[in-house]
Amino acid sequence: MKFPEKGINKEKVMDMLRAFQEKDKAWKDAKAFGYVYQAGDEILEVVKEAFNLYFSANALNPTVFESLRQMETEVVAMAADLLHGNEATVGSMTSGGTESILMAVKTAREWARKKDPGIFEPEIIIPDSAHPAFHKACHYFNLAAVVVPVGPDFKAVPAAMEQAITSNTVLIVGSAPSFPQGVVDPIEEIAAIAKKHDLLCHVDSCVGGFMLPFWVELGAPIPAFDFAVDGVTSISADIHKYGYAAKGASVILYKNAELRKAQYYVYANWSGGIYASPSMAGTRPGGAIAAAWAALKFMGKDGYLEKAKSVKKTTEYLMKDINAIPELKILGKPDMSVFSFASDTLDVYEIGDEMGLMGWHLDRQQLPPSLHMTITPAHEEVFEQFLVDLHKAVEKAKKYSTHKLSKQVQINSVKGLKKILPKKIFGKFQEVAAKHSPVGGSRSAAMYGLMGELQGTGNLDEMVKEFLHQLMTEK
């Protein structure tokens, strides 16, 4: 693709964009169970108008766009109120959950440096269900992630986390809920441990922050998870998920201003003037801030409660029917509208492929192999057809087919090669396999099966990077 010599007219540009969209998953038909949080055309139009009104605005300098400064502080205050903060609770808006988590980890590092200058190798303790953004943050900010296995219920194990504490520990993390199985970690116990050892405690509620409070109002037995819990010092919550705002909008909240100051970056010796930014981003799109503010104001607690009722009803119906299919099982006891299902007798990735051929999209998970679902209000209209198709997919996955045989041959070949090839040569084999593997096809069960066999070989990361390179290279 060369840089265009001449521009083309608007109609042609828009036609090309619409043609591009045809390649995307059918999320507008609510056939995707992730990435897009649909709550109806009315809220969508409000969010679009608000975003477009501030399309060119930049929140980098709050003295230029005073309105954005006011909206951001009000969004933070509304989120803090929802999550049982008080007058001391402060925070910032970010571009999404990953940035919010990055900020929480960076803040913990700075807080520890001030508290104990002797900590040169700071560590954070996380359950192995915690979002990879915590590992990303440790990679970026030079901390160590101490990973503690979850229990058979997929929840964090507080006693094991406490045993992992060392003189270098600066932060303990829990999820509300965790993404893979949708369970809320025992935050009260985790926070008590953090307070006992004078450590910070972060709650990752990126998925649940704008849904769990309303499930509580609906009578769901949700364990305490927010600032109502003594010892919780920060919370991340995404407004562009169940807050139904535009991408990307999240909040990172802190128990007090002293913690938030540790998040800020300032460089005062630049010839261009004093540079200060509250979060990772320099330029901060005004549209996302305005859209988040508009969503919260337009919906209100009553609006969010109505959407939560719809989501809760659909989720409960889906989980009940999925569990009733003999070959399938829901993993753990999900606390919210995020869950996954697995199979002890079938290749669950084959089921995912069959669903994909019928137009549905479910995320693949591993350890254990499962299919992931995030339920939104839009799924109320389609869940019955989804269940009909799921029953069909299970029946198809039970039958013999040539592609299954081919997949098993590939996996068995990898098993054999892993046993007989020297580690260095096997690593080269993985590189070649990644370069020549089909990308973006209708079936992925074989690829996920291979990934499972390659766990622990030391070269899987490089193979995934090659897959990503292939995906992101112009065809």
Looking at residue 323, what is its pLDDT? 95
pLDDT mean across residues, the chain? 88
- Say if CB 97 and CB 106 are below 8 A apart: no
Looking at residue 76, what is its pLDDT? 97
Peptide bond into 248 cis (omega under 30): yes
Output the six-digit token pair for 97: 């959950």
Task: Give 118's pLDDT tier (boundaries 50, 70, 90).
Answer: confident
pLDDT at 173 over 80: yes
| Residues 331-358, mean pLDDT to the nearest whole number | 95
pLDDT at 253 over 60: yes
| Residues 321-350, mean pLDDT to the nearest whole number | 96
| Residues 56-79, mean pLDDT to the nearest whole number | 90
Looking at residue 409, what is its pLDDT? 47
Q: What Å distances lie between residue 287 and 47, 294, 297, CA to CA? A: 9, 10, 15
Looking at residue 282, what is its pLDDT? 86
Q: Positive or negative, the Cα torsion across 285, 179, 172, 122?
A: negative
φ and ψ of 422, to 5 deg:
-60, 150
Looking at residue 58, what is its pLDDT? 87
For the entire predicted model, the pTM comes to: 0.85
Looking at residue 2, what is its pLDDT? 85
Looking at residue 467, what is its pLDDT? 61
With 0-12 CB in 10 A as exposed, 13-18 as middle and 19+ as buried, what is 368? Answer: middle
| Residues 302-317, mean pLDDT to the nearest whole number | 97
Task: Give 439's pLDDT tier (boundaries 50, 70, 90).
Answer: very low
Output the six-digit token pair for 23: 């390649």
Looking at residue 1, what is its pLDDT? 79
pLDDT at 424 over 80: no
pLDDT tens per residue, range 20-32? 888 877 677 888 8
pLDDT at 333 over 70: yes
pLDDT at 232 over 70: yes
Q: Positive or negative, the Cα torsion across 100, 46, 79, 363?
A: negative
pLDDT at 3 over 90: no
Looking at residue 38, what is its pLDDT? 86
- Say if CB 179 and CB 207 are below 8 A apart: yes
